[in-house]
């Protein structure tokens, strides 16, 4: 997959199978404007349709201060209702495209993440956060509410009561608090954040890519079902792997005591 150059995103291949995508508006703390909405929707859609050799994505922000400050309120100042709704429809499509992406996405929160910035991270598969950064879903202070699946993803990560407290108070919390609540997978020293996230991405990319994608899908959609239905979904996903070349290669490599060479077939 060779995406075009984006105005608001910087893309960098990390080896053959990992892509690092960076929200690239550091002058405004990587706030999400309409152009970034178009760019993110295009990127996630392209990666879903034509991943090529890519097997994992790390999403981070440019600069040292913020991952993403949320929606660009300067752009929104004075917007008509019709323009606001049109822009938000674009954002909604980008959030859904991220959450539906078959490739795993690791959010590496290099700094503060507020509003739609935190919601973008919540749409990823899991999150590493830099020590010292602050986070909040602060929309109720602006007369709106989370609209990037924040009420859904936060509640699923930390539970209903904690999500209500955080969203209704709009209060900020630390990386350590988010980690203790199960929202973040790891708290990293700022200088080590990207190294740790990329190391994890590399470990994921070394595994059978079809297996990784099927397992991700089974976890994500299975949690929206009762246990028995989720299990049947899991078995359907499992059975799609039995006759793949990678399954044959994995078993053969195990018996030959060598590292498997997976090709995503």
Which helix H or strand E contains 136, and what residues bound it? strand 134-136
92 is catalytic: no
CA dihedral (160, 165, 167, 168) in degrees, to 10, reads 120
DSSP code of 24? -
Between CA 131 and CA 174 the distance in angstroms is 8
Which helix H or strand E contains 22, and what residues bound it? strand 18-23
DSSP letter for each residue of 30-63: T-B-HHHHHHHHHHHHHHHH--TT--EEEEEESS
176 is catalytic: no
Taking the CA atoms of 184, 187, 193 and 198 in sequence, report the sign of the dihedral they define.
negative
Between CA 52 and CA 16 the distance in angstroms is 10
b/e burial code for range 43-68 (CB count within 10 A of at least 16 → b): bbbbbeeebeebbbbbbbbbbeebbb
47: Cβ contacts below 8 Å, ≥ 6 apart: 1, 3, 19, 54, 57, 101, 103
* No. of helices (H) and no. of strands (E), the chain: 11, 10
Q: What are phi and psi of 127, to 5 degrees?
A: -135, 130
Catalytic-role residue among 5, 75, 139, 249: 139
Which helix H or strand E contains 187, and what residues bound it? strand 186-188
Catalytic-role residue among 119, 165, 236, 249: 119
Catalytic residue positions, numbered:
119, 139
């Amino acid at each position: 997959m060779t995406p075009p150059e984006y105005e608001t995103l910087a893309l960098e291949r990390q080896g053959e199978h990992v892509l690092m995508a960076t929200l690239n508006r550091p002058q405004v703390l990587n706030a999400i404007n309409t152009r970034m909405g178009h760019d993110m929707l295009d990127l996630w859609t392209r990666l879903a349709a034509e991943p090529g050799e890519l097997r994992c994505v790390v999403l981070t922000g440019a600069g040292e201060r913020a991952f993403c400050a949320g929606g660009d309120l300067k752009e929104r100042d004075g917007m008509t209702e019709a323009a606001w709704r049109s822009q938000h429809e674009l954002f909604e499509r980008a959030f859904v495209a991220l959450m539906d992406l078959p490739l795993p996405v690791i959010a590496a929160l290099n700094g503060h993440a507020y509003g739609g910035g935190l919601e973008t991270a919540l749409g990823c598969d899991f999150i590493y956060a830099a020590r010292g950064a602050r986070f909040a879903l602060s929309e109720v202070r602006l007369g709106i509410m989370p609209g990037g699946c924040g009420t859904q993803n936060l509640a699923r990560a930390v539970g209903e009561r904690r999500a209500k407290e955080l969203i209704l108070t709009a209060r900020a919390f630390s990386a350590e608090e988010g980690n203790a609540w199960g929202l973040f997978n790891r708290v990293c020293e700022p200088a080590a954040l990207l190294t740790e996230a990329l190391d994890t991405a590399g470990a994921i990319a070394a595994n059978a890519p079809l297996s990784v994608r099927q397992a991700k899908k089974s976890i994500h959609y299975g949690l929206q079902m009762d246990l028995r239905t989720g299990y049947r979904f899991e078995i359907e996903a499992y059975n799609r792997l039995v006759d793949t070349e990678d399954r044959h290669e994995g078993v053969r490599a195990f018996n030959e005591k060598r590292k498997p060479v997976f090709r995503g077939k």
